[in-house]
Structure 1
Amino acid sequence: MVEVKKILFPVDFTENSKKVLPYVKHFARAFAAHITLIHVVRGPDEFSGFELGSAWWSSFEKEVMEGSRAAMEHFMTENLQDYKDIDYMILMGDIIEEINKFAVEKGVDLIIMGTHGRKGLEKAVFGSVAEGVVKHAACPVLTINPFKIKS
């Protein structure tokens, strides 16, 4: 028997996260599962080669983590007031590694995520997060193409 008690939903705060959210809620309700939203901020390794200095990084890190927490709380208030069995985590590092590591550490049963988030040069430089999560996840991953969702 398949038990899904913990669902992980990676969020990047784009419109595409909002489009995937009804599926997350549907599966969570169907399985009476807990939802954890996760947002991963790129860590200092992503900026190697830039001559920015350590003082810049510590200031940037603090601001981006605080901004991410505020964005997550706003996202939850705006979109998840109707679901109570929920929490969130903001992490820093390699996005794919952090999502998969968190899923293993917390015993996540299912990851639900969009196939598309940010676009343009950022996607070309950093590659597909969904593809990396699917390839390395220790649990099932349900991917949803937000551009194929009928409104």
Structure 2
Amino acid sequence: MQEVKIIVTPIDFSDNAKMIADSAAYVAGKFGAELHLVFVVQDFEDYTGFFVPPVNLPNLTKELLESAQQRMEEFTESCRETATAAGVATLRSKVLNGDVAEEILSYTEEIGGNMIIMGTHGYKGLERIMFGSVADKVVKTACCPVLTINPYRQNCGVQN
């Protein structure tokens, strides 16, 4: 197995995102690895057959990217203390645009990522039906180990 030096962690700004990022920071600290937090703005142009897109779709995408970048900067700062305490020397963040699973995999390959740590749950309801399970796609097609965290099954089997 290749040495783990760069860990990629997709986040979705959900209520569980901080817990996933903190868990990834813990693992990154144990490996002495860099931690890259990524958020992908879904590319809705692929779904124009399902709905009539607004006339100004490029403007909407630009606004979503700008908003996501601002949220990512705030989120990364909120994770910095935990990451530092866990021993993570390098914490980076990136906002991408496109198919969520494909962008996660492409970015991981581009930076030479050795591991992906991600939550098992993100989209719910209709969004999950439209977009499918991102974690499932990543696990099935990644060229590196993928550690998934089910945020709803914390402390399984742990007795207090």
Question: TM-score, normalising length from structure 2?
Answer: 0.86
Superposed CA deviations along residues 4-42 of structure 1, whole A, max 9, x for unmatched, are 110000010001212222320111111111011111111
**1:65 paired residue number:** 65
> What SS does the aligned partner of 1:87 have?
strand
CA gap of 1:56–1:47, structure 2 versus 1, over 3 A, is farther
User: Amino acid of the residue matched to residue 45 of structure 1?
Assistant: E
1:5 aligns to 2:5 (yes or no)? yes
Give the unaligned 5+ runs of structure 1.
Answer: none
**1:140 paired residue number:** 145
Bigger shift: residues 75-84 or 20-29: 75-84
Output the CA distance in 2 between the equivalents of 1:148 and 1:131.
17
CA contact (8 A) 2:76 2:93 kept: no
User: Amino acid of the residue matched to residue 138 of structure 2?
Assistant: V
Q: CA deviation at 1:143?
A: 0.4
Give the unaligned 5+ runs of structure 2.
Answer: 84-88, 156-160
CA contact (8 A) 2:11 2:21 kept: no
Q: CA deviation at 1:85?
A: 0.9
Superposed CA deviations along residues 76-134 of structure 1, whole A, max 9, x for unmatched, are 12222343511111111111111111111111000000000131221122111000000
Output the CA distance in 2 between the equivalents of 1:21 and 1:90.
15
**2:34 paired residue number:** 34
Output the CA distance in 1 between the equivalents of 2:107 and 2:82.
25
1:56 aligns to 2:56 (yes or no)? yes
Output the CA distance in 1 between the equivalents of 2:9 and 2:69.
15
CA gap of 1:23–1:82, structure 2 versus 1, over 3 A, is closer
The two structures, once aligned, show a CA RMSD in angstroms of 1.8
Stretches (4+) displaced over 2 A: 44-47, 49-53, 79-84
User: Amino acid of the residue matched to residue 30 of structure 2?
Assistant: A
Q: CA deviation at 1:52?
A: 2.8
CA contact (8 A) 2:22 2:79 kept: no
User: Amino acid of the residue matched to residue 121 of structure 1?
Assistant: L
Q: CA deviation at 1:2?
A: 4.5
1:99 aligns to 2:104 (yes or no)? yes
Identity of aligned residues (%): 40
**2:18 paired residue number:** 18
Output the CA distance in 1 between the equivalents of 2:12 and 2:27.
20
Question: TM-score, normalising length from structure 1?
Answer: 0.91
